[in-house]
């Protein structure tokens, strides 16, 4: 028997990390001491007071039952309070929705609003789920290149009017994965103007909102008019080293939140309530643990940037996220050939930029989530390359 995959699966963009994954497995099999700077998954543990809160909450039998679909009101209130500290007022009843990680909401939102043939604007390079969720919903992707000369912000003025008129939704992500760029206030003002002109839903992915160094990046919702056109996705994953817990949120426009909740009530049954209680603890407790996590990334960033600069790479200290994004050396003709060369010669895994979209060609991404000692060792090895 053979079971043909549905067109929506067959038509997914190719998975570009396959070759590198294979090369990594082979190196491991050869006994190479591989250092993986590819994956954006914090390796440090979740702060212990949050783990304790989960343990206590898991003992309550009320939490063993189906959770409420939209999230406990106490969690939605904690999320609203968390935003109030940034000067943003949200109604926990209508403007906040708990998610099983922000990825879940990003994967579902097009189903609520995108009809077959509608255009969705997605950043290139970008988080792959923006495109796959659009395609699953039958939408048409229009890529917005994020170019270094534009500080990795999309140029809305070059989007053809015919595309803008057919456009239903737009994904943005700042602080950005993979480029580590942050967006200035004026950029969001342009986005809101553009969205109002063409009646576009703005979905801002702020998974890295709290992974920053000097200045806190703007939330999309801080800008006047944002709530009329969009929502923001947030997450505990990167902020509190909680990627495995699967909890995040969508906040903003009540109608958009309502649409997303309609899809969710027909798909999942919400987040384990004990995890919700632990999230309340995370959001309401002293945020010193977040400062500590930031300091660790800052140290790693400074070590890596210094070493890479010395080795001749053109890299700068990014203001947010735990990624470094930089150009490959001139003598390599593709991101992939450079990443393969680095793995072959040093056992260090780095991510070719084109895996995030065509506009990422010519760049690579390094993740700073490995332990400091491993990053130092990786930098020693990279410095030994004769480039
Ligand atoms: C990690 C990441 C997410 C997903 O986070 P979860 O809340 O764990 O689902 C979303 N967007 C971007 C850009 C990410 O890098």
Q: What is the CATH number of domain 48-284?
A: 3.40.640.10
Task: Tell whether the model's pLDDT for residue 10 goes beyond 80.
Answer: yes
Q: Provide residues with CB under 6 Å of ligand 1.
A: 40, 101-103, 127, 173, 177, 205, 207, 235, 237-238, 243, 248
CATH 3.90.1150.10 for domain 14-43+288-383 = yes
Q: Among 128, 235, 322, 365, which residue has the most ligand 1 atoms within 8 Å of its CB, making it the best to mutate?
A: 235
C-beta separation of 251 from 92 below 8 A: no
Q: Among 38, 103, 323, which residue has the most ligand 1 atoms within 8 Å of its CB, making it the best to mutate?
A: 103
Please give the structure tokens belonging to residue 64.
């063993």
pLDDT above 70 coverage of the chain, percent: 100
Rounded to the nearest whole angstrom, what is the distance from the C-alpha of residue 102 to the centroid of ligand 1? 6
Q: 19 by DSSP, 3-state: which?
A: helix
Rounded to the nearest whole angstrom, what is the distance from the C-alpha of residue 177 to the centroid of ligand 1? 9
Q: Nearest CA to 201 among 66, 109, 283?
A: 109
Nearest CA to ligand 1 atom 14: 207
Per residue in 280-307, pLDDT tens?
Answer: 999 999 999 999 999 999 999 999 999 9
Per residue in 165-197, pLDDT tens?
Answer: 999 999 999 999 999 999 999 999 999 999 999
Rounded to the nearest whole angstrom, what is the distance from the C-alpha of residue 184 to the centroid of ligand 1? 21
- DSSP-derived letter for residue 386 is -
Strand order in the sheet with 96-99: 96-99, 248-252, 230-235, 201-205, 167-173, 119-124, 140-145
Per residue in 150-160, pLDDT tens?
Answer: 999 999 999 99
Per residue in 33-92, pLDDT tens?
Answer: 999 999 889 999 999 999 999 999 999 999 999 998 899 999 999 999 999 999 999 999
pLDDT attached to residue 270: 96
Domain locations in the chain?
14-43+288-383, 48-284
Which ligand 1 atom is the nearest neighbour of the CA of 238?
Answer: 1
C-beta separation of 118 from 141 below 8 A: no
pTM confidence score: 0.97
The DSSP line for 60-126 is: -GGGGSPPPTT--HHHHHHHHHHHHTTT----TTTSEEEESSHHHHHHHHHHHHPPTT-EEEEEES-
Q: Nearest CA to 339 among 112, 37, 32?
A: 37
pLDDT attached to residue 13: 85
- The conformational region for residue 31 under phi > 0 = left, psi -120 to 50 = alpha, else beta, is left
Report which secondary-structure segment, H or E, holds 249. Answer: strand 248-252
The domains spanning 14-43+288-383 and 48-284 adopt the same CATH topology: no
Query: pLDDT band at residue 112, thresholds of 50, 70 and 90?
Result: very high
Task: Tell whether the model's pLDDT for residue 32 goes beyond 90.
Answer: yes
> What does the alpha-carbon distance between residue 85 and residue 67 come to, in Å, rounded to a whole number?
27
């Amino acid at each position: 028997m053979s079971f043909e995959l549905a067109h929506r699966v067959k038509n997914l963009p190719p998975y570009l990390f396959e070759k590198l994954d294979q090369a990594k497995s082979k190196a491991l099999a050869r006994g190479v001491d591989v250092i993986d700077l590819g994956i954006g998954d914090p390796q440090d543990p979740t702060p212990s007071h949050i783990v304790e809160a989960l343990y206590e909450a898991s003992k309550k039998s009320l939490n063993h039952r189906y959770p409420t679909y939209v999230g406990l009101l106490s969690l939605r209130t904690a999320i609203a309070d968390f935003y109030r500290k940034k000067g943003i007022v949200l109604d926990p009843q209508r403007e906040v929705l708990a998610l099983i990680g922000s990825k879940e909401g990003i994967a579902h939102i097009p189903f609520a609003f995108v009809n077959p043939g509608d255009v969705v604007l997605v950043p290139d390079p970008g988080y792959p789920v923006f495109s796959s969720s659009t395609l699953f919903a039958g939408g048409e992707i229009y890529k917005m290149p994020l170019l270094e000369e534009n500080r990795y912000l999309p140029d809305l003025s070059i989007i053809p009017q015919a595309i803008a008129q057919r456009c239903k939704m737009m994904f943005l992500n700042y602080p950005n994965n993979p480029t580590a760029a942050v967006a200035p206030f004026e950029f969001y003002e342009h986005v809101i103007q553009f969205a109002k002109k063409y009646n576009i839903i703005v979905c801002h992915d702020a998974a890295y909102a709290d992974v920053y160094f000097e200045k806190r990046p703007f939330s999309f919702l801080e800008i006047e008019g944002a709530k009329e056109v969009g929502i923001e996705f947030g997450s505990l994953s990167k902020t509190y080293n909680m990627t495995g817990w699967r909890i995040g949120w969508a906040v903003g426009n009540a109608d958009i939140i309502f649409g997303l909740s309609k899809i969710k009530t027909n798909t999942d049954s919400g987040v384990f309530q004990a995890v919700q209680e632990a999230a309340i603890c995370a959001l309401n407790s002293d945020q010193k643990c977040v400062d500590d996590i930031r300091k660790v990334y800052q140290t790693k960033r400074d070590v890596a940037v210094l070493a890479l600069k010395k080795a001749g790479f053109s890299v700068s200290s990014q203001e947010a996220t735990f990624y470094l994004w930089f150009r490959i050396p001139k003598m390599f003709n593709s991101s992939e050939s450079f990443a393969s060369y680095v793995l072959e010669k040093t056992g260090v895994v780095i991510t070719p930029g084109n895996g995030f979209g065509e506009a990422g060609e010519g760049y690579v991404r390094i993740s700073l989530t490995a332990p400091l000692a491993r990053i130092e060792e990786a930098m020693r090895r990279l410095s030994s390359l004769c480039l």
